[in-house]
Structure 1
Amino acid sequence: MSTHPLFTPYLLSRIELKNRVVMSPMTRSRAIGNVPNDLMAEYYAQRAGAGLIVTEGTSPSPNGLGYSRIPGIFSEEQTQGWGKVADAVHHKGGRIFVQIMHTGRVGHPINLPAGAEVIAPSAVGLSGNIWTDSEGNQKYPVPREMNSEDIQKTIREFVHSAENAIRAGLDGVELHGANGYLIDQFLNPAANQRTDQYGGSPANRNRFAIEVAAAVSKAIGPERVGIRISPYGVFNDLGSFEGLEEQYEELAKELGKLKLAYVHIVDHSSMGAPKPNASTVQKIRTAYKSGNPAGAYILSGGYDVTRADADLEAHAGDLIGFGRHFIANPDLVDRLKNGLPLTSPDEGTFYTPGEKGYTDYAYAAR
């Protein structure tokens, strides 16, 4: 048996993981018509060597489908599609959570179905352009500010999608509270300029995230719910702000009280983003664990086996997320365990339709 902590089993709530490697969520844009398909089932099944797979961001509603070809999990057809993915991964002995991602202001009407609209905490648009399949790059629109009814409806959409995930046979859900999408937009004053109970103070900015997590936990059980957060993240026009550490510490404390399965923290410094302050990462972990000692803390960001083992041994985290390495190395866990070379991914096919750069990467020769 391996002496590396990374390759030892772990009990995530009641779910047995065969190792501590997490395949981090990555948008891959292969869901034609926003419906999970056989190609996606093959892709995730190829990577079932991970202890836990977290899928690409998956919308809980038509309004949240901001990008081209991202999947949803709000319709019956989408739910059945995710059922195929869950079956394929389970057949290979893997475990899989679907990441529920509402894009909020990060979208364009061209990418949305008829009747859907770009909504956000405040009417603050993004700089730059977004890709649309039919009309190429388009400027981001100014979103419509959500009213109280919109907020309650959106929370219900998260709940409905989580229930669909369990019905589809997925092992749980990860709420996407990171990288500048809807939950993160509520957390950050750069996007949230509200003066009602969902904005204006750190506690009010935390409210939407906590209410979503509480409602989803009540519906499917907190042991099946994780959340991903990105303090200091700069993606989608967000960034650091005064009082960030204290706000996230309080958020983590409330999430711990809910007994969520895990908190998954983003560190994109290996790709050029600011590195989260070590004190913030530690305080979030301590605050979350204070109410939920058995809850897992997932670290991610440019890890190799040596660094992963060191952080696991130091109890800095319980599971380790790996992202881009999984794209070109479907057998990543086997390669890491046996010291085999890693294949570099083709960035030109990260978001293109079809199997090229998706399911056609080879397993290592042994």
Structure 2
Amino acid sequence: MTASLFDSLSLGPLSLPNRIVMAPMTRARSTQPGDVPNALMAEYYAQRAGAGLIVSEATQISRQGQGYSFTPGIYTQDQIAGWRRVTDAVHAAGGRMVLQLWHVGRMSHPSFHADGRPVAPSALAPDASVWIVDPATGQGGMVACPVPRALDITEIPGIVDDYRGAAANAVAAGFDGVEIHGANGYLIDQFLRDTSNRRTDRYGGSRENRIRFAVEVAEAVAGEIGADRTGIRLSPYITQRNMADDGIVDTILMAARAFDRIGLAYIHLAEADWDDAPEVPVRFRHHLRAAYSGRIVVAGKYTRARGEAILSAGLADLVAFGRPFIANPDLPRRFAEGLPLSAFEGATLFGGDAHGYTSYPAWPAAA
């Protein structure tokens, strides 16, 4: 059966008018101090409400969970009120939106931590950088991550509770659900992989132990707001940031079976999007379908044609688009009508003002 990006679909309690998802993208426009969502962000997301679903930019669940400058949080009353302005604008424009819950783990900077040390499953540096604004100059740039400190086992339940609390705050802020960020080398992903997790307690060693943190977070969030309003993002084939792990696919599939038992609404695959990235094998997609019965979202340099193809093959239910949504706020219409796509300005991706953010126009209405 041929499937289309423009077919409707149910996702938990949501009725989506199409299968086009706006992917989560860090844009670093929150108000300072306090990392508070603002009116500019509300305008940006409302412009893109034609997506079947919007997944917000990654949003830290706590101060400890932050790794980049000017990214928004969901752990203070001001942040909740700021996000309510965003969700109200998206809903008024006819859209649906979930909040991506984020703890970066070792992908962080000393300025966000009282002792100057990010936390991680193990004290292993990621060989990666994060975007940090210099307070003296106000200019942002990439800065290397330090060696983190290993979390004490007594600290882990508190972080799980931070995820639960952030999910409750997201609902209070008007979101239709949440997406747990378990991909791209951040904290949950760090627990999953033997290259970043060298623990010898119940959170390390065997696959069963390495998926434990992810499963506990999923159970806590689902228990708070409902499994049908909860998704999770995973990245089995991404190897950057010292995350290469020959056994990660089997670990991801074990986790997927656990998420299926919990009843999570969807799994969102972050596929590698650089030019020489490995292709995701079709056999993995079939194995994931066998392990997990919920909806599957895919993201990673998809075009309309590639999106239609993977939907028609039955290997995904929704397709997420990232960069194309930046310069094309009306992306679903442009796909539907075969209109040209505008290019985005790379220099405006992180930080700044309305230029390169809300300044991209929609295609003119037909006469």
How does the TM-score come out when normalised to structure 1? Answer: 0.94
Q: Quote the residue 2:173 is aligned against.
A: 168
TM-superposed deviation, 1:31: 1.1
Q: Secondary structure at the match of 1:166?
A: helix
Q: Secondary structure at the match of 2:64?
A: helix
| Residues 171-180 or 310-319, more deviating | 310-319
Across the aligned residues of Structure 1 and Structure 2, the Cα RMSD in angstroms comes to 1.7
**8 Å contact 1:176–1:228 — kept in the other structure?**
yes
TM-superposed deviation, 1:273: 2.8
The yes-or-no answer on 1:69 pairing with 2:70 is yes
1:148-167 alignment, distance < 5 Å: 148-167=153-172
Structure 2 residue ranges without an equivalent (≥5):
136-140
The yes-or-no answer on 1:274 pairing with 2:275 is no
TM-superposed deviation, 1:137: 4.7
Spell out structure 1 runs of 4+ moving beyond 4 A. 113-117
| Distance in 1 (alpha carbons) for counterparts of 2:177 and 2:76 | 18
Q: Secondary structure at the match of 2:292?
A: helix
Q: Secondary structure at the match of 1:255?
A: helix
Q: Secondary structure at the match of 1:320?
A: strand
| Residues 223-232 or 125-134, more deviating | 125-134
**8 Å contact 1:100–1:173 — kept in the other structure?**
yes
| Distance in 1 (alpha carbons) for counterparts of 2:340 and 2:143 | 40
Matched AA of 2:124: V
| Distance in 2 (alpha carbons) for counterparts of 1:203 and 1:180 | 19
| Residues 352-361 or 92-101, more deviating | 352-361
The yes-or-no answer on 1:200 pairing with 2:199 is no
Equivalent in 162, 182, 206 of residue 177 of structure 1:
182
TM-superposed deviation, 1:117: 4.9
| Distance in 1 (alpha carbons) for counterparts of 2:363 and 2:341 | 8
Q: CA-to-partner distance for each residue in 1:334-362, whole Å, 9 max, x for gaps?
A: 00000000001111111022111110001
Q: Secondary structure at the match of 2:241?
A: helix
The yes-or-no answer on 1:254 pairing with 2:255 is no
**8 Å contact 1:41–1:85 — kept in the other structure?**
yes
TM-superposed deviation, 1:116: 7.9
Q: Quote the residue 2:310 is aligned against.
A: 311
The yes-or-no answer on 1:92 pairing with 2:93 is yes
Q: How many residues align?
A: 357
Q: Quote the residue 1:127 is aligned against.
A: 127
TM-superposed deviation, 1:142: 1.1
Structure 1 residue ranges without an equivalent (≥5):
290-294
For the structure 1 residues 39 and 159, does the alpha-carbon distance in structure 2 shift closer, same or farther, using more than 3 Å as the test?
Answer: same
| Distance in 2 (alpha carbons) for counterparts of 1:137 and 1:25 | 20
Matched AA of 1:74: Y
TM-superposed deviation, 1:282: 2.2
Q: Quote the residue 1:18 is aligned against.
A: 17
| Distance in 1 (alpha carbons) for counterparts of 2:297 and 2:131 | 31
For the structure 1 residues 197 and 4, does the alpha-carbon distance in structure 2 shift closer, same or farther, using more than 3 Å as the test?
Answer: closer
Q: Quote the residue 1:292 is aligned against.
A: none
TM-superposed deviation, 1:153: 0.5
Q: Quote the residue 1:47 is aligned against.
A: 48
**8 Å contact 1:62–1:116 — kept in the other structure?**
no
TM-superposed deviation, 1:271: 4.3
| Distance in 2 (alpha carbons) for counterparts of 1:345 and 1:326 | 9
Q: Secondary structure at the match of 2:5?
A: helix
The yes-or-no answer on 1:322 pairing with 2:324 is no
Q: Quote the residue 2:36 is aligned against.
A: 35
| Distance in 2 (alpha carbons) for counterparts of 1:113 and 1:49 | 39
Q: Secondary structure at the match of 1:43?
A: helix
For the structure 1 residues 115 and 41, does the alpha-carbon distance in structure 2 shift closer, same or farther, using more than 3 Å as the test?
Answer: farther
| Residues 229-238 or 200-209, more deviating | 229-238
How does the TM-score come out when normalised to structure 2? Answer: 0.93
**8 Å contact 2:50–2:95 — kept in the other structure?**
yes
Q: Quote the residue 2:138 is aligned against.
A: none
| Distance in 1 (alpha carbons) for counterparts of 2:142 and 2:179 | 29
Q: Quote the residue 2:269 is aligned against.
A: 265
For the structure 1 residues 235 and 355, does the alpha-carbon distance in structure 2 shift closer, same or farther, using more than 3 Å as the test?
Answer: farther
| Distance in 2 (alpha carbons) for counterparts of 1:325 and 1:75 | 32
Question: Between Structure 1 and Structure 2, which shows a larger proportion of helix residues?
Answer: 1
Q: Quote the residue 2:336 is aligned against.
A: 337
| Distance in 2 (alpha carbons) for counterparts of 1:128 and 1:157 | 25
| Distance in 1 (alpha carbons) for counterparts of 2:24 and 2:131 | 20
| Distance in 2 (alpha carbons) for counterparts of 1:28 and 1:271 | 22
Matched AA of 2:348: T
